[in-house]
Amino acid sequence: MWTCRRRTAACSSGSAPRKPCNGYSPSVAITGGCAVHLALADYAPAAELANDLVRTSPTVHGTEDLPGRDALAAFLDGYGYDLRAPADDDVRDVHLLRREVRGIIETETAEQAVAGASVLLGRAGRAPVLRRVDDGRWRWHVPTAPDAPLAAELAAVAAVGIAGTVRALGHDRFRACAAPGCRGVFADVSRAGRRRYCTPELCGNRLNVANHRARHRTAAP
Ligand SMILES: [Zn+2]
């Protein structure tokens, strides 16, 4: 049975698939594949993926959220990027990438962040191309190399997110989480730019609990 390693939309929407489009290939002996086309204007969801990737590390909340291939596949599912399906060997490379992405978010200057993003983009990104999208307009996209491994594809996504954040919002949108004891870092791509926590539903509560305890201690006789 022939299976597509990517979502069907990837192969039908990706421009100029290789001949033949190797996205359709046997489930064994995968060679080649369709390029992933990353819209440069859509940096925010790419940055959110980078944020989410960073906080899967045990460095942030004490647990390894990407222990294996299945967890990695579940993590990547739902972002809308037609990335290569993970193999066991990809997990370690994604862990290494995660550390790099964190390091770039922690850089002290915009120049350093952009330089780091450029390194990531260079792993799989190719020259930007114009593609006509659904509304008929032409938009800049970065295609990835069809043979790029998953970690390189993911690096390109993170790079688009980080570089786009610097360009559109500024380097001060890279922040450390404000929750006590949390080592999370993130890119704030919200419109208001007031995000304080790497994981709002968790770290915001952590701060509330800490404040509650502090008040309780102060009020105690
Ligand atoms: Zn946090």
pLDDT tens digits along 12-31: 333 333 333 333 322 222 33
pLDDT-derived band at 207, boundaries 50, 70, 90: low
- Compute, in angstroms, the gap from residue 92 CA to the centroid of ligand 1: 24
| CA 202 – CA 56 distance, rounded (Å) | 13
28 falls within a domain:
no
Ligand 1 geometric centre to CA of 176 (Å): 8
Query: Does the residue 91 lie in any domain?
Result: yes
Q: Is residue 52 part of a domain?
A: yes
What is the bridge-based pairing of β-strands 24-26 and 2-4? antiparallel
134: containing domain: 37-170
Q: Per residue in 46-92, pLDDT tens?
A: 999 999 999 999 999 999 999 999 999 999 998 989 899 999 999 99
Q: How far is the CA of 208 from the centre of ligand 1 (A)?
A: 13
pLDDT of res. 23: 37
Give the distance (Å) from ligand 1 centre to CA of residue 177. 5
CATH number at residue 53: 1.10.3300.10
Question: Cα of 128 to ligand 1 centre, how many Å?
Answer: 34
At 127, is the pLDDT very low, low, confident or very high (cuts 50, 70, 90)?
A: very high
Q: What percent of the chain has pLDDT over 90?
A: 72
pLDDT recorded at residue 134: 85
The reply to whether 155 falls in a domain is yes
How far is residue 145 CA from its own chain's centroid? 17
Q: What is the distance in A from the centroid of ligand 1 to the CA of 166? A: 21
Cis peptide before 86, with omega less than 30 degrees from 0? Answer: no
Report how far residue 179's alpha carbon sits from residue 74's, in angstroms, rounded to the nearest whole number: 27
CA of 90 to the centre of ligand 1 (A): 26
Q: What's residue 2's pLDDT?
A: 30
**C-alpha 85 – ligand 1 centre gap (Å):** 29
- Please give the full DSSP string across 139-207, using - where no structure is assigned: EEEEEBPTT--HHHHHHHHHHHHHHHHHHHT-GGGEEE--STT---EEE---SS-----SSHHHHHHHH
Total domains in the fold of the chain: 1
In a domain, 198, yes or no: no
Task: Specify if 122 maps to a domain.
Answer: yes
Question: Coil, strand, or helix at residue 104?
Answer: helix
Q: Quote the pTM value.
A: 0.81
Q: Tell me whether residue 220 is in a domain.
A: no
187 domain-assigned: no
Rounded distance from Cα 184 to ligand 1 centre (Å): 5
Beta strand 37-39 with 24-26 is unpaired
Q: pLDDT over 70 for what percent of the chain?
A: 78
Ligand 1 centroid to 30 CA: how many Å? 39
Ligand 1 midpoint to CA 67 (Å)? 20
Quote the mean pLDDT of the chain. 84
